[in-house]
Amino acid sequence: MISMSSISNLCLIYRHLCRSHKPFTTLSSVTVNHVLGHNTRHSIVLNRRFSHSYVNVLKDKQLMTQMESTFILPSVQTILKRLIGFDDNKVFETRPELIHKSNEVRFMTDNELKMTLEIARMKAGEQLAMPPVLAPKEDNPRILATDYELQGYIDSKYIFVDSSPGSSDQTRLIVVRETNGILREANREERYRMNQMFFPKEERLMEKPNMFSEPHLTNVLDRREYEFVLNRACLQFEPNDPEYIEICYKTYDHMVANNDVLGLQSTRHFGPFCYYLVYFKKIDELLNQFILSETIGDATDLCQLYYAIHSGDSHLSDENSINRVEDISLIKKYITEESIERPILELTLQKYEEIQRQKASLTDDIQRAHGLKT
């Protein structure tokens, strides 16, 4: 029986041949051994080219607005929550923190421990709450007044901050009096600094951490610390900050390019990551990994989400119509109609179906041996 990892090795050779444009007869045994021997991750390296620029995407106001409105559709949210999954070890694992907190040790009875675990699992849903996908906020402060008669009376800008309770960082009134007498709204940088100065948020720094600048960001991503980067970005930036969106996109593309698309599963960032791949039609690598891991329900959900966003079918806007199914035909439809890496996905799916047939045959043989089936 050929394992699913073997099919990955064959696909790696296929990819190597496609890139080198050499016939099979010219591929040396050294090259084959190199591909097979050093492929410790048992996965397929798919196309690493990306069809868009971050700058162009962020400037496309209509695209980003539509992306934001689609993300909150009930059907999209339902599928994304299912795709996130729930792994106890991943959800409750210890994560690095900027401010270290001491551990608390308690002695409990079995009943108290059981109750505590149930409460922890209920709270875990809050940890898996997805960060919102928002369009970048424009940085065009309005001019409120032009009092040129004040020109010359001040030699520096004055910033006025409304400290009334109940206002958020986004809606708080912050205005700036320029030296030339113009009164305007605060720009993004001024608003950020004033909010952090008078209403500081825990673990948020006044200056942008160096880890978000190159080459530090790439170095952190090369260590595959994706969740740490995204968690830190959530603390440092607002979800509609262009820098936050660009950091997320860089992280997502780095995961795809390095064939680590399941690295965020069972974290709150996996939903937005799947949504990003689906919206920009780059789900082939993730779909391939779902099939290799034999999680066909997730693979079907991914294809459902793809067609829910790109097909425009009206029935897909109904949350109740998006049920969890394992539909091989839907996966085959996507591979045939939409996939860029069709040969690789077809080969992976064929091997999955062969393995399922062998498992079914083995189950029948065991039942016959025990007299449970004639």
- What's the pLDDT score for residue 37? 37
* Lowest-confidence pick of 113-122, 206-215, 220-229: 113-122
Higher pLDDT, 124 or 317: 124
Q: Which residue has the tokens 């875990």?
A: 124
Q: Which residue has the tokens 């119509």?
A: 321
Q: Which residue has the tokens 């004639």?
A: 374
User: Is it the case that residue 121 has pLDDT exceeding 90?
Assistant: no
Which of 96-105, 117-126, 160-169 holds the top average pLDDT?
160-169
CA distances from 158 to 182, 188, 200 (A): 11, 16, 20
- Per the document, the length of the chain is 374
How does pLDDT run across 307-355, given as a tens digit for each residue?
Answer: 989 886 544 445 545 666 777 889 999 999 999 989 999 999 999 889 9
Higher pLDDT, 22 or 132: 132
- 10 Å Cβ neighbour count for 257? 16
Higher pLDDT, 319 or 306: 306
Alpha-carbon gap, residue 208 to 13, rounded angstroms: 43
Do residues 271 and 84 make contact, with C-beta atoms less than 8 angstroms apart? Answer: yes
How does pLDDT run across 163-172, given as a tens digit for each residue?
Answer: 888 888 888 9
The 3-state DSSP class for residue 333 equals helix
With a CB cutoff of 8 Å and minimum separation 6, the contacts of 157 are: 176, 177, 178, 179
Which of 92-106, 266-280, 356-370 holds the top average pLDDT?
266-280
- What's the pLDDT score for residue 41? 36
With a CB cutoff of 8 Å and minimum separation 6, the contacts of 237 are: 243, 244, 247
* Residue 226 pLDDT level (bands cut at 50, 70, 90): very high
How does pLDDT run across 23-34, given as a tens digit for each residue?
Answer: 333 333 333 333
Beta strands at 182-185 and 143-146: parallel, antiparallel or unpaired: antiparallel
Q: Which residue has the tokens 């369009």?
A: 135
pTM above 0.85, yes or no: no
Higher pLDDT, 22 or 131: 131
- What's the pLDDT score for residue 31? 32
Alpha-carbon gap, residue 77 to 287, rounded angstroms: 19
* Lowest-confidence pick of 9-13, 114-118, 130-134, 353-357: 9-13
User: Is it the case that residue 143 has pLDDT exceeding 70?
Assistant: yes
Q: Is 281 left (phi over 0), alpha (psi -120 to 50) or beta?
A: left
231, two tokens: 């968690």
- What's the pLDDT score for residue 51? 41
Which amino acid type is present at position 112?
E
How does pLDDT run across 65-78, given as a tens digit for each residue?
Answer: 999 999 999 889 99
92, two tokens: 């409750």
Alpha-carbon gap, residue 201 to 208, rounded angstroms: 14
